[in-house]
């Protein structure tokens, strides 16, 4: 670790303690984890010309947009667009302190673009902390009779899965079956449950109206594997029978088998009891809430000591806070966002009949046929096994190039935090903070575009890889849709996956030249970083080419990863599936050139991972993974079931060199071994290493770096 460029020597302490500052008091230990200071080598060059400054304020009005008379956010954007149209460059918008409550999504398109080297800069005014909010503040609370529950009127059409009080997420009304006195023994079927043998459950559901029953949600941890957690709504109740919402119930309990599956996915038994019953007023307990959308009423039972009259209650109204979307012919480009906080948005799809059937890493089943997986199901074409859709991101960019997000805060969000997809290239995500996010923090890529050069995939890509299909109707899909040259560096990610526990800190789907480096990811429920997920489960060393993609030249380096796998199991610090390189051949055109191919494969170097829980492999190359260089990584004090590096049914071509690990490396215990594994120069270290057991150069270089 470094403090203001000087090395700190802790001579006599175990190495687990060397990173205690990253756990408890990061700023006091030399800003290793702040993610807020500048000076990274990844920063884009900027002009020395003084910019024209446009001023915005939450209370702004008029059109002057001056420091003495600031305007609204929307007027500031209109002013920028007008000046850009007249040829102006060097434009900066300074946001004054306060909360900017959006009535609708803050949308950026091609006409909002700067020019190369002269991005339009949207930034916090000096000393300000502007919050971009999708919530309404709920006031006017009154006690419900003599109960401990309070209520308030909310705007019509309010719909949310999250509520925030005094800057913290609070859970929706929920109880376990045991708390409700349910006896269990529910008998499942393709339509739902027969609960007639559970008198307590019958009594509870019988008291609910039809509308109330239709709001009830069941939670199923580990429904389709220990790495997953799914949710489905109830449709109706009558005479001891619960009908579950479709197609959610079918997706969850009737998974089409695979003829060439290399991963263990199985349908949940229809008789599985839910772990939690959620979203009914009669379930409410202290510190929980319930929204009655038909009565426009929000209910909350205060926790001990809470006073509703003085509490800040934020009810999310929007799903998308900021949406940047160009087309492949007319990109959104050259914009910088810095010093802003994005907060208080929701994501409501899990409340629909489709629900949240979680296959892995917050990728859920939907109706669409993508990835080509369905041709390997039995019978061929029977889906929805391969029909996976990623979570909505509350801040997202598509067909966007040279976008910089630096020094921002993403917190109190109900979907994923930030996403780039659909041909977005040369973007920089640096020195941001991500926390209290229901799903994953950063999502790069789209589940629908592993092979955008396949003409048959074009329609699905347009429909699913950007927020506005009508905008991209004229786009011609090809190599221009491949994401290239994006960088994720020096960010701090923690306490994500708060609602959807299979969330990863960073999820990388299909791209080229992506660099994920010097990030600090800690206290996450599942993998810290995942790459290629969903792409490998029809491949292994005996049939490696069932599912191909465009991945190449990606790097995961020098990240500090700890306290991962805190909730789910069967994952690791870095989890990789599927093809990670394009093949390079010898002169005969048939024999693969291993040196050239590996050089363009996945480079996983210099990462430090420790204190993982429920971990199978710390560095995990799983189903169909191939062409990965594991070099100079560190792993210790991880509670591994398998090893510090290895996997199940990968294709192979792994070079494992110069790593420092307290558990075994190169362990592949499944039925189909990888084609080849090349270990060399690896060092076994104690589970609780001391100074000197690991080169200081690796430890110093892991995680966010300062100037």
Q: How many CA atoms lie within 13 A of 489 on its CB side?
A: 24
Please indicate, yes or no, if residue 579 is contained in any of the structural domains: yes
Please indicate, yes or no, if residue 312 is contained in any of the structural domains: no
Structure tokens at 462: 């347009």
Please indicate, yes or no, if residue 563 is contained in any of the structural domains: yes
Q: How confident is the model at residue 234 (pLDDT cuts 50, 70, 90)?
A: very high
Nearest to 675 by CA among 539, 542, 545, 538: 542
Nearest to 47 by CA among 128, 126, 121, 111: 121
Q: How many CA atoms lie within 13 A of 407 on its CB side?
A: 17
Task: Average the pLDDT over each of 36-50, 86-100, 517-531, 534-548 and give the range with the smallest value.
Answer: 36-50
Domain end, chosen from 236, 262, 281, is at 281
Please indicate, yes or no, if residue 180 is contained in any of the structural domains: yes
Domain end, chosen from 281, 302, 320, is at 281
Which residue shows structure tokens 């610090």? 573
CA-CA distance, 114 to 529, in Å (whole number)? Answer: 32
What's the pTM value of the predicted model, to 2 decimals? 0.93
Torsion of CA 509, 513, 515, 516, to 10 degrees: 10
Please indicate, yes or no, if residue 392 is contained in any of the structural domains: no
DSSP assignment of 42-103, as one string?
A: TPPP---SPPEEEEE-TT--SS---SSS-B-HHHHHHHHHHHHHTT--SEEEEEPSEEEE-S
Structure tokens at 50: 């003084």
456, pLDDT greater than 90: no
Q: What is the pLDDT of residue 7?
A: 28
Contacts of 145 (CB under 8 A, 6+ apart): none
Positive or negative: CA dihedral 185, 189, 193, 197: negative
Nearest to 230 by CA among 415, 393, 359, 353: 359
Please indicate, yes or no, if residue 70 is contained in any of the structural domains: no
Domain end, chosen from 254, 281, 308, is at 281
Q: What is the pLDDT of residue 387?
A: 60
Q: What is the pLDDT of residue 366?
A: 78
- State mean pLDDT over 525-538: 89
CA-CA distance, 563 to 68, in Å (whole number)? Answer: 48
Please indicate, yes or no, if residue 549 is contained in any of the structural domains: yes
Query: In the chain, what percentage of residues exceed pLDDT 90?
Result: 84
31, pLDDT greater than 70: no
* Spatial strand order in the sheet of 442-444: 106-108, 322-325, 393-398, 416-421, 442-444, 506-508, 529-531, 574-576, 615-621, 640-647, 667-668
Please indicate, yes or no, if residue 417 is contained in any of the structural domains: no
- Tens digit of each residue's pLDDT (9 = 90 or more) over 84-96: 999 999 999 999 9
Domain span at residue 657 reads 501-707
Structural Rg of the chain based on CA atoms: 26
Nearest to 228 by CA among 13, 71, 388: 388
Query: In the chain, what percentage of residues exceed pLDDT 70?
Result: 89
Per-state percent for the chain, helix, strand, coil, to nearest 5: 15, 35, 55
687, pLDDT greater than 50: yes
Q: What is the DSSP letter of 281?
A: G
Nearest to 183 by CA among 273, 294, 121, 114: 273
Number of domains in the chain: 2
127, pLDDT greater than 60: yes
310 C-beta neighbours (distance < 10 Å), count:
7
Q: What is the pLDDT of residue 282?
A: 97
371, pLDDT greater than 90: no
Please name the residue ranges forming H helices in 86-209. Answer: 199-206
Q: What is the pLDDT of residue 49?
A: 75
Long-range CB contacts (< 8 A, 24+ apart) of 473-478? 474/327, 474/329, 475/327, 475/328, 475/329, 475/399, 476/328, 477/328, 477/452, 478/452, 478/453
CA-CA distance, 212 to 559, in Å (whole number)? Answer: 47
Coil/strand/helix, residue 251: helix
Sheet strands (E) in 273-392: 276-278, 288-292, 297-301, 313-316, 322-325, 332-338, 341-343, 358-360, 363-365, 388-389
Coil/strand/helix, residue 599: helix
Higher-confidence residue of 448 and 193: namely 193
CA-CA distance, 430 to 424, in Å (whole number)? Answer: 16
Q: How confident is the model at residue 15 (pLDDT cuts 50, 70, 90)?
A: very low
- Tens digit of each residue's pLDDT (9 = 90 or more) over 471-515: 999 999 999 999 999 999 999 999 999 999 999 999 999 999 999
């Amino acid at each position: 670790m470094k403090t203001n460029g000087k090395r700190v020597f802790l001579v006599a302490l175990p190495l687990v303690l060397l990173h205690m500052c990253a756990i408890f008091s990061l700023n006091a230990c030399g800003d290793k984890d702040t993610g807020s200071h500048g000076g990274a080598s990844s920063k884009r060059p900027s002009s020395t010309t003084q910019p024209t400054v446009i001023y915005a304020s939450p209370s702004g009005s008029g059109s002057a947009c001056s420091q003495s008379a600031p305007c609204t956010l929307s007027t500031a954007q209109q002013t920028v667009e007008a000046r850009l149209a007249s040829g102006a460059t060097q434009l900066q918008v300074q946001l004054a302190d306060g909360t900017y409550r959006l009535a609708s999504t803050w949308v950026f398109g091609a006409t909002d673009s700067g020019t190369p080297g002269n991005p339009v800069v949207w930034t916090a005014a000096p000393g300000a902390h502007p919050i971009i909010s999708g919530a309404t503040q709920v006031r006017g609370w009154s006690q419900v009779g003599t109960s401990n529950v309070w209520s308030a009127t909310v705007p019509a059409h309010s719909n949310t899965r999250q509520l925030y009080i005094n800057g913290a997420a609070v859970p929706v009304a929920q109880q376990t079956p045991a708390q409700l006195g349910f006896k269990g023994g529910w008998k499942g079927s393709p339509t739902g449950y027969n609960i007639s043998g559970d008198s307590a459950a019958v009594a509870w559901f019988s008291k609910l109206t039809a509308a109330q029953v239709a709001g009830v949600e069941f939670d199923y941890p580990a429904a389709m594997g220990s790495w997953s957690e799914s949710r489905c709504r109830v449709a109706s109740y009558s005479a001891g029978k619960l009908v579950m919402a479709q197609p959610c119930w079918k997706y969850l309990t009737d998974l089409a088998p695979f003829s060439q599956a290399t991963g263990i996915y199985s349908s949940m038994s229809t008789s599985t009891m839910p772990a939690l019953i959620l979203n009914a007023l009669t379930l409410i307990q202290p510190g929980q809430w319930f929204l009655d959308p038909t009565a426009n009423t929000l209910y909350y039972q205060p926790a001990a000591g809470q006073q509703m009259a003085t509490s800040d209650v934020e009810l999310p109204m929007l799903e998308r806070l900021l949406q940047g979307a160009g087309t492949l012919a007319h990109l959104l480009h050259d914009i910088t966002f810095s010093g802003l906080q994005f907060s208080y948005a929701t994501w409501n799809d899990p409340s629909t009949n489709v629900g949240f059937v979680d296959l892995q890493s917050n990728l859920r089943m939907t109706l669409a046929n993508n990835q080509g997986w369905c041709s390997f199901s039995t019978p061929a074409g029977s889906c929805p096994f391969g029909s996976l859709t990623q979570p909505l991101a509350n801040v997202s960019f598509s067909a966007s190039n040279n976008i910089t997000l630096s020094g921002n805060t993403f917190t109190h969000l109900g979907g994923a935090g930030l996403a780039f997809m659909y041909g977005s290239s040369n973007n920089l995500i640096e020195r941001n903070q991500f926390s209290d996010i229901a799903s994953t923090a950063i999502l790069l890529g789209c589940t629908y575009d592993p092979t955008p050069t396949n003409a048959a995939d074009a329609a699905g890509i347009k429909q699913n890889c950007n927020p506005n299909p009508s905008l991209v109707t004229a786009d011609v899909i090809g190599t221009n849709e491949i994401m290239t040259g994006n960088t994720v560096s020096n960010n701090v990610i923690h306490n994500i996956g708060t609602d959807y526990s299979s969330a990863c800190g960073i999820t990388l789907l299909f791209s080229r030249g992506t660099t994920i480096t010097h990030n600090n990811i800690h206290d996450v429920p599942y993998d810290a970083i995942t790459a290629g997920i969903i792409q490998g489960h029809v491949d292994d060393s005996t049939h490696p080419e069932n599912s191909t993609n465009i991945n190449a030249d990606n790097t995961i380096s020098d990240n500090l990863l700890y306290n991962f796998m805190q909730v789910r199991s069967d994952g690791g610090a870095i989890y990789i599936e599927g093809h990670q390189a394009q093949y390079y051949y010898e002169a005969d055109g048939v024999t693969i050139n291993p040196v050239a191919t590996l050089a363009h494969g996945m480079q996983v170097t210099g990462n430090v991972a420790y204190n993982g829980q429920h971990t199978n492999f710390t560095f995990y190359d799983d189903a169909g993974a191939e062409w990965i260089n594991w070099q100079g990584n560190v792993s210790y004090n991880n509670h591994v079931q398998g090893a510090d590096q290895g996997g199940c049914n990968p294709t192979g071509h792994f070079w494992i060199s110069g790593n420092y690990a307290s558990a075994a490396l190169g362990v592949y215990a499944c039925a189909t071994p990888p084609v080849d594994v090349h270990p060399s120069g690896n060092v076994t270290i104690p589970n609780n290493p001391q100074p000197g057991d690991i080169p200081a150069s690796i430890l110093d270089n892991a995680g966010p770096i300062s100037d």
